[in-house]
Structure 1
Amino acid sequence: MKNKYVMTINHQEIELIDSFEQIAVEIHPTAKEGSKAVAAEIAALIRQKQTAGEPCVLGLATGSTPKYLYAELVRLHREEGLSFKNVVTFNLDEYYPIEPDALQSYNRFMKEQLFNHIDIKEGNYHVPDGTVPKEKIKAYCEEYERKIESAGGLDIQILGIGNNGHIGFNEPGSSINSHTRLITLDNSTRLANAFDFPNMSQVPRLAITMGINTILKAKKVILLAWGSHKAKIVRRSVEGHSTDQVPASLLQQHPNTKFVIDEQAAHDLTRNKEPWLTGDCEWTPALIRKAVTGLAMKLDKPILMLTDKDYNENGLNDLVVQYGSAYELNIKEFNAIRDTITGWPGGKPGPQLPNHPERSEPAKKRVLIFSPHPDDDIISMGGTFIRLHEQGHDVHVAYQTSGNIAVTDEFVLRFIDFAVGFEGMFDISNKKSNEILEEAKAFIRSKKTSQKDTPEIRAIKGLIRRCEAKATCRYVGLPDGNEHFMNLPFYETGLVEKKPMGPEDVKLTVDLLRKLKPQQIYCAGDLADPHGTHKVCLDIIFAALEEVKNEDWAKDCWVWLYKGAWQEWDIHEIEMAVPMSPDQIVQKRLGIFIHQSQKDVVPFQGSDMREFWQRAEDRNANTADLYDRLGLQKYAAIEAFVRYHFM
């Protein structure tokens, strides 16, 4: 969408597309492209400083956000000869207390992601020490500040942003005058970072962090943000008031700051969410639907009740002019949204319905549901899954990863105790298996935070999830053999950190597609976390579809994207809405309950304390409520899908 509105001030044309933004924002299509641009900027500065015989001082961040940046810097070093011998770095923060070799340590993170792969000098990188005695912390932090000043100050400070707006570990309420210090972590931050630790109790409550004043002293600040889950806080930071309740918004007071974000993180900026407010815009069908549904929600009116006055008072006069009246526009959009609703996700048998989301033919389709983890199928689209089978389609499920890291150690011990007791009860003698189980129990009991699971433990955890997935397929009624466990290699690291997708991941997916030749595919289109398993699984599917798209069967295959447990499609994006009755909601809930290893204590749940079944039901009920508020039929719940065109 191109904004064409400009204003002339002092004989200069100024585009108003970013007129609501108080900080410069650079938007890239993907996190990789944004990271590559920032890496090029850093590389140029390093080379400039080398030519001048000066050190280049960088402030670095940790977490998932800068991983692509560091990977690109490593590539520049290996392939383009970028030297880091004149580079001095200071990291933002570190958990406290924590050993430097712990799996969750930022010291270890920086070595694995960057320092071990470049030619930076041993004494030139600095990460706060999580082992300093508490009584010496204050003096240590003061010395950290002096080291930064002695190095000449930070030339560039790289930042990420937390969902509550924290930068570094400067939580809401941190003073603009704060310096490097020991800080108590907000509970929401601990919950958000809990996926790195075996359980919540092991997430540190304290951290050492550079202060906001320290950050603001940098000559240039670049904040990175990727994924739709960062969209709301990006908007608050960039377009809201500068306040210590949103620490990132204090960067508005820095003279050389920019946000580098991807299109997902830019979703809520006014230029994207309500572009008509920033000037003249091109009215595409998608943008028209976004404007009409957004206006109806804003005014809490059904679509058919919107008036010319409503449009005119909310910057949408162009639409009324284009359609002649609100009445004509309302009818058109209401009918289009109504036509997304169907009880026949595989296509309604019988005569062709031109406005139906799916084709009528073939009446019985071979359907392939890709499930990133062994429970995403039932959690995200369980009602549709069950309905597809009941309506006679040949439904297959491909579980893309083992999901083994999402099984708690306690749950493994429970199954080991059962297995040992079972063998003892029935006098089944298998010394080897008993030894494996006993070794597994001993490992878990002595497991340290710096250790990853053994292959045997991972195999047990994977088996637990595989059994639950097979039970779900039986519950739905699928015949044996219609479940496919892909165990994609990228996932099998034993750590939260995964490998990038590789050729073998794509090959396994291509082989399955060619074997089944589906007429309909469902896959997780959840882009909330660009480094998460769902995103990698989706990229693998897209790469596989690109490889097979010219094959005869693929030309008649439609792909539908569903969202994961964390969020739903925006109402204006939905192209197929599958309603559920109260009985079908309960049926789906019971299917989710089969995954007992994911119940009660949800690994990786972040700050959302609801179990997966609760999230799914709330999300589906909310979608149904949105349709009701727009004036459509009232349903108990709705599962939503968006079509992906790969041809």
Structure 2
Amino acid sequence: MLNPNERIPCRIYDRASDASVAAANEIAGLIRQHAASGDRCVLGLVSGSSPVNVYNELVRLHRDESLSFANVVTFNLDEFFPMQPFELQSVSRFMHEHLFDHVDLPESQIHLLDGSLPRDEIAAHCQKYEHAIRDHGGLDLQLLGINRAGHIGLNEPGSDRGSRTRMITLDQITRTDAASDFFGAENVPRHALTMGVGTILEARRILLLAFGEGKAGIVKRTVEGFANASTPSTFLQDHPDVTLLLDEAAASNLMRVQSPWLLGDVTWDASTIRRAVIDLSDSTGKAILKLTDADYNEQGLQDLLAAHGSAYDINLRVFRHLQSTITGWPGGKPDHAKQAGDRPGNRDDIFPKRILLFSPHPDDDVISMGGTLIRLVDQGHEVHVAYQTSGNIAVFDEDALRYAEFVEEFCQQFGLAASGLDELADHVDTFLRNKKAGQIDSDQVQNIKGLIRRNEARQGARCCGVRDEHLHFLDLPFYQTGRVKKSPISDADLDITIDLLRRIQPHQIYAAGDLSDPHGTHRTCLSVILQSCLRCQNEPWYESAVVWFYRGAWQEWSTHQIEMAVPLSPQEVERKRQAIFKHQSQKDRALFPGSDAREFWQRAEARNAETARRYDALGLAEYAAIEGFVRWDGQSGVEL
């Protein structure tokens, strides 16, 4: 039954992987249904990160459960222009790598928009594409993704509801979102070919996939807003058979998730009460302890009062919880610092602790929890930092060239032997000066870029007081492709991580719970950590281990989610900034900035300051900044 506040049906899944399997099963069922009737099944397909697991599951169904694609005809949504089919970023290459090359789909039944054609042939090509769809009886099912601007296909804001397949000029948001695939926004084509909104809406069935916190805002506008040309995805509201498949993060801004008490009866557990009271405090501009029964009644929270007593009692309960999250001792306290009423959960019977901080990229440790890292070291804990990937694709070519030239000239000036150095320098110079947009770096260039990031990570950690021998560069194999598209997680990734866990046997593990980075490395790295933890969960040392999730580079935890809030002094904020500054290759302009144009240190400081401001506005102590953490429940999020 459609939620009365939602204009498009939505299904919310615990994990993106669950939503992907559901989509694949529906597509497989449709294929089999048409095959049983002797008909062809016409599918509209989409490229990008969202459908990857859908295609993985379809390939598995073909391999393990005899799903045949012999009766399938496909039409893909879009293609960049200009774009050769063999280029890394082409839709053609994506579809062959993820689906077409792994199933029994005849090549003659695959239809792709051709970005390699001369410009003067594009209009006729697009018209021919439209005719081909009609000649096959129209699309039985169209699979869609969505970007932050609400485009479907590559129909940018302003696209007409009746638009057809055509060339379009891409806006800045789309080009910024695509930057990670093209090794920088400057390499993203300015034009693309796309099915029109009208073409898409003629599909008999539509499934739209949206995963991650970064999609929460546009999902809300698409589902709960009014249809308008400035957000093309809202035109889906007029379709008779469309469903959005969402993970919990993408659905987090929907009213049924964010404020379910406004829609009807709810179960008032501790989390929902906390969210409602914080929301009430924000909307009224009052500190929690100043909220009255009248405030609750006027904001539709009469049921909460009826079930849990007076405003005073509810206020006090929520306030005390929030107060208990604040700690200046994230690793627990030594005996001499303990006081009555200290917050539980950090195993104060163990002090000092062994701490293991996992950093997906070489700078996530200092960007996202640099203040807490400084605090843990200063308070005497044995702190280790594990850098899960090299981060080498995020280094500009000119930086690699500059470092190669420096080493060559240094050796020459001081008469140092450098066998093969001249040859290496010549290779780097020749390769980078002739490198094409989006081309994969040679092994030599990748190694140089990796060393740049490794040296910066070492300097940043030293700034926080971490000892060199406690830095671990894991170089997980899944990342070592030289391109934005990474390999699936393998046993090799898990073995490296499990070996480190067993060697250190940490009492606290910190992992990046920020899943909105542009190319999914955080998501993959987190899954590696959690799967590794589950494999170690029955070992004696793991009994005292606690896993904390941090955020900061791309998102921040909401106040109601935070379970540990570490306040930072102005001096610690400055020291954290200096640690971030050590990452010079990411300073001034990052290769993959994502949707936020600010530098990473600016994002981190603004988010930490905003968290502190929210705590202050709720009536708690006022701090310069706060880093927030959420404790892992031991099960969720393993397969993201």
Question: Unpaired segments of 5 or more residues in structure 2?
Answer: 636-640
Quote the Cα distance in structure 1 between the aligned partners of 2:216 and 2:191.
Answer: 27
Instruction: Report how far residue 357 of structure 1 moved.
Output: 5.3
Q: Which amino acid aligns with 2:369?
A: M
Query: What residue number does 1:627 align with?
Result: 615
Query: What residue number does 2:70 align with?
Result: 85
Contact 1:227 1:530 in 2 (8 A): no
Is 1:395–2:380 an aligned residue pair? no
Q: Which amino acid aligns with 1:267?
A: S
Is 1:177–2:162 an aligned residue pair? yes
Quote the Cα distance in structure 1 between the aligned partners of 2:117 and 2:360.
Answer: 41
Q: In the TM superposition, what whole-angstrom CA distance separates every residue of 1:228-254 from its partner, at most 9, and x where no partner exists?
A: 211111111111111111111110101
Match of 1:572, SS state, is coil
Q: Which amino acid aligns with 2:211?
A: W
Is 1:595–2:583 an aligned residue pair? yes
Is 1:218–2:180 an aligned residue pair? no
Is 1:242–2:240 an aligned residue pair? no
Match of 2:469, SS state, is coil
Matches within 5 A, 1:76-225: 76-225=61-210
Instruction: Report how far residue 518 of structure 1 moved.
Output: 1.0
Which residue of 260, 268, 271 maps to 1:275? 260
Quote the Cα distance in structure 1 between the aligned partners of 2:438 and 2:257.
Answer: 43
Contact 2:463 2:578 in 1 (8 A): no
Contact 1:558 1:645 in 2 (8 A): no
Match of 1:339, SS state, is helix
Query: What residue number does 1:554 align with?
Result: 542
Query: What residue number does 1:372 align with?
Result: 360
Is 1:313–2:298 an aligned residue pair? yes
Query: What residue number does 1:7 align with?
Result: none
Match of 1:499, SS state, is coil
Instruction: Report how far residue 200 of structure 1 moved.
Output: 2.1
Query: What residue number does 1:6 align with?
Result: none
Q: Which amino acid aligns with 1:45?
A: L
Q: Structure 1 stretch 584-593 or stretch 345-354: which is displaced more?
A: 345-354
Which residue of 18, 21, 28 maps to 1:43? 28
Quote the Cα distance in structure 1 between the aligned partners of 2:399 and 2:111.
Answer: 39
Match of 2:68, SS state, is coil
Which residue of 507, 514, 532 maps to 2:495? 507
Q: In the TM superposition, what whole-angstrom CA distance separates every residue of 1:589-627 from its partner, at most 9, and x where no partner exists?
A: 010000111111212112311111111011101101111
Q: Which amino acid aligns with 1:512?
A: L
Match of 1:587, SS state, is helix
Quote the Cα distance in structure 1 between the aligned partners of 2:525 and 2:487.
Answer: 12
Is 1:56–2:14 an aligned residue pair? no
Count of paired positions: 632
Quote the Cα distance in structure 2 between the aligned partners of 1:589 and 1:348.
Answer: 26
Q: In the TM superposition, what whole-angstrom CA distance separates every residue of 1:377-419 from its partner, at most 9, and x where no partner exists?
A: 0000000001110111111111111111111111101101111
Is 1:429–2:417 an aligned residue pair? yes
Quote the Cα distance in structure 1 between the aligned partners of 2:214 and 2:472.
Answer: 31
Which residue of 343, 347, 372 maps to 1:359? 347
Quote the Cα distance in structure 1 between the aligned partners of 2:261 and 2:237.
Answer: 25
Quote the Cα distance in structure 1 between the aligned partners of 2:505 and 2:452.
Answer: 29
Which residue of 590, 606, 615 maps to 2:603? 615
Quote the Cα distance in structure 2 between the aligned partners of 1:528 and 1:595.
Answer: 21
Q: Which runs of 4+ in 1 moved over 4 A?
A: none
Q: Which amino acid aligns with 1:619?
A: R
Query: What residue number does 1:228 align with?
Result: 213
Q: In the TM superposition, what whole-angstrom CA distance separates every residue of 1:449-476 from its partner, at most 9, and x where no partner exists?
A: 3531122111111111111111122222
Quote the Cα distance in structure 2 between the aligned partners of 1:592 and 1:382.
Answer: 8
Query: What residue number does 1:639 align with?
Result: 627
Quote the Cα distance in structure 1 between the aligned partners of 2:328 and 2:396.
Answer: 38
TM-score (norm 1): 0.95
Cα RMSD for the two superposed structures = 1.5
Matches within 5 A, 1:497-576: 497-528=485-516, 532-576=520-564
Query: What residue number does 1:478 align with?
Result: 466
Q: Which amino acid aligns with 2:277?
A: V
Q: Which amino acid aligns with 1:44?
A: G
Q: Which amino acid aligns with 1:374?
A: P
Is 1:577–2:562 an aligned residue pair? no
Instruction: Report how far residue 586 of structure 1 moved.
Output: 1.0
Query: What residue number does 2:249 align with?
Result: 264
Q: In the TM superposition, what whole-angstrom CA distance separates every residue of 1:127-149 from its partner, at most 9, and x where no partner exists?
A: 11112221222121111100100
Query: What residue number does 2:324 align with?
Result: 339
Query: What residue number does 1:304 align with?
Result: 289
Q: Which amino acid aligns with 2:387?
A: Y
Match of 2:420, SS state, is helix
Quote the Cα distance in structure 2 between the aligned partners of 1:645 and 1:27.
Answer: 20
Query: What residue number does 2:638 align with?
Result: none
Match of 1:395, SS state, is strand
Which residue of 460, 467, 476 maps to 2:455? 467
Contact 1:103 1:449 in 2 (8 A): no
Match of 1:179, SS state, is coil
TM-score (norm 2): 0.96
Q: In the TM superposition, what whole-angstrom CA distance separates every residue of 1:303-359 from its partner, at most 9, and x where no partner exists?
A: 112111111122211221233211111111112111211111111223464534533
Query: What residue number does 2:393 align with?
Result: 405
